[in-house]
Homo-oligomer: A and B are copies of this chain.
Amino acid sequence: MALIVQKYGGTSVASVEMIKRIARNAARLHRAGNQVVIVVSAMGKSTDKLLEMIYLQSKAPPERELDVILSTGEQVSMSLLSTALHTIGVEAVSLTGRQAGIITDSNHTRARILEIKEERIVKELQQGKVVIVAGFQGADENGEITTLGRGGSDTTAVAVAAAVGADVCEIYTDVTGVYTIDPHMVAGARRLSYISYDEMLEMANLGARVMHPRAVEMGKKHNIIIHVRSSFTGEEGTIIREVTSVEEKFIVNGIACDVDLAKIAIVGVPDKPGIAAKIFAAIAEAGISVDLIVQSIRKEEDNDILFTVTREDLSKTLSILNEVIEEIDAKEIYHAEDVAKISIIGAGMANAPGVASTMFNALAEEGINIEIISTSEIKVSCLIKKDKINDAAEAVHKAFNLGEENAPVV
């Protein structure tokens, strides 16, 4: 007898047959006495079709109207799933974001959930129904339709789980869980049974696209047990939860690789206070995230500033820098897209000396040069040449014995 929130992504509701399967799965849980809330995304390619239609009307559609049209995607899939449940004799009700009480701010296309008025969901659960909630969407206090942006449905699921006090939030997706490394990169990748929120955040932020960081953050904040698993195989996946005991903390739990990066170098910056602040303030104002910042002093008065952005943000960043280059009196700006980042993540890292050097050694033995190093309590990241990323992944995965169930302490 548990209260279970399940979330199914777009690939999991892509067909008539898959929706029927979700219904059967929920019916089984419901008949066993559990309370079930299901958060659904829009079906497969339907979001793309809606976007195509609106972009045929305008290259820059109003964000409010983008939300109006996009929110129909989940409304379709939730109705179909509710109908599928009725067909097999299970009482169900589908709720839009607004009906489910998901109150957001008014930032269309990237709204934040302010609160969940959970009364309606709770009432329907108490009446014995399976409750289906549209993911990715909400409404502001005036009843205007909003969407949550990337990772929106994951965020809806975790927020709903927190609001109703769920025992677990199951995220059904097209992968079977969280791996020590992307299985497409390294054949010996191993699925993790458990991972902590912080580790998962690093994995997510660093390019392991299993679950959106926003949703993981919300899970951490409300201490929601998240179970990432496959909607195709039914097998157990990876459980994300708080790790407190030292024994449970693996030194290195996983490896994340990011190849969608660009490196920017600002050469010959005068060594005066406030210069770096000026540069990064201008970039941050444009909503661009910067990673791996290094400042190196070449001569007495000149600095080089090196950092990375996503490739998507590269041209926008360069045009911002071109505006400030004279003001900051820098000599030149270089950029390159031939870089990639490899990171090791582990909650036990802080208490284990020698972790970073094991990584550096592994890379050195493969003849891979490290351009930038960045560390935190639970990760070490290295910027390397992009064409070396597969070799690097293989070598580092092996160096920490991650393919084996109980990775020994280094």
Footprint of B on A, CB under 8 Å? 16, 19-20, 50, 53-54, 56-58, 61-62, 64-66, 68-69, 71-72, 75-76, 78-80, 82-84, 86-87, 93-94, 96, 98-99, 143-145
Q: Are B68 and A72 in contact (CB under 8 A)?
A: no
CB neighbours of A93 from chain B (8 A) = 64
Residues of B within 8 A of A53 (CB): 16, 76, 80
For A75, the chain B residues whose CB sits under 8 A away are: 68-69, 71-72, 75
User: Is B98 a contact of A143 with CB atoms below 8 Å?
Assistant: yes
Q: Could you show 29 A-B contacts with beta carbons less than 8 Å apart?
A: A16-B53, A20-B57, A50-B76, A53-B76, A53-B80, A54-B79, A54-B80, A54-B83, A57-B84, A57-B87, A58-B84, A58-B86, A62-B82, A65-B82, A65-B86, A66-B79, A68-B75, A68-B78, A68-B79, A68-B82, A68-B96, A69-B76, A69-B79, A69-B80, A72-B72, A75-B75, A96-B145, A98-B143, A99-B144
Cross-chain contact A65 with B83 (CB below 8 angstroms): yes
Which B residues touch A54, using CB under 8 A?
Answer: 79-80, 83
Across the A-B interface, the 6 shortest Cβ-Cβ residue pairs: A69-B79, A72-B72, A68-B79, A58-B87, A57-B83, A61-B83
A60 CB, nearest partner CB in chain B, Å = 8
Chain B residues within an 8 Å CB radius of A72: 72, 75-76
Nearest CB of B to A32, in Å: 23
**Residue in B closest to A86 when the chains form the complex, CB atoms:** B62
B residues less than 8 Å from A76 (CB atoms): 50, 53, 69, 72
Additional A-B contacts beyond A62-B82, A64-B93, A66-B79 (11; CB < 8 A): A54-B83, A57-B83, A61-B86, A65-B82, A68-B75, A68-B78, A68-B94, A69-B80, A71-B75, A98-B143, A99-B143
A108 to chain B, nearest CB (A): 12
Taking CB atoms, residues of chain B closer than 8 Å to A50 are 76
For the complex, give the distance between the alpha carbons of A50 and B144 in Å: 24
CA–CA, A58 to B50, complex, Å?
25
Question: Which residue of chain B has its CB nearest to the CB of A54?
Answer: B83
Determine whether the beta carbon of B94 is less than 8 Å from that of A65: yes
- Docked pose: A87 CA to B61 CA in angstroms: 8
A62 CB to closest chain B CB (Å) equals 5
In whole angstroms, how far apart are the Cα atoms of A76 and B49 in the complex? 11
- Given the complex of chains A and B, what is the CA–CA distance between A66 and B76 in angstroms? 10
Q: Which residues in B have their C-beta under 8 angstroms from that of A86?
A: 58, 61-62, 65
Taking CB atoms, residues of chain B closer than 8 Å to A57 are 16, 19-20, 80, 83-84, 87
Closest Cβ of chain B to A135, distance in Å, is: 15
User: In the assembly, what is the distance between CA of A272 and CA of B369, in Å?
Assistant: 105
Task: Report chain B residues within 8 Å CB of A145.
Answer: 96
Nearest Cβ on chain B to A299's Cβ, whole angstroms: 54
Q: Which residues of B contact A61 (CB under 8 A)?
A: 83, 86
Please give the distance in Å from A228's CB to the nearest CB on chain B. Answer: 27
A16's nearest neighbour on chain B, judged by CB, is B56
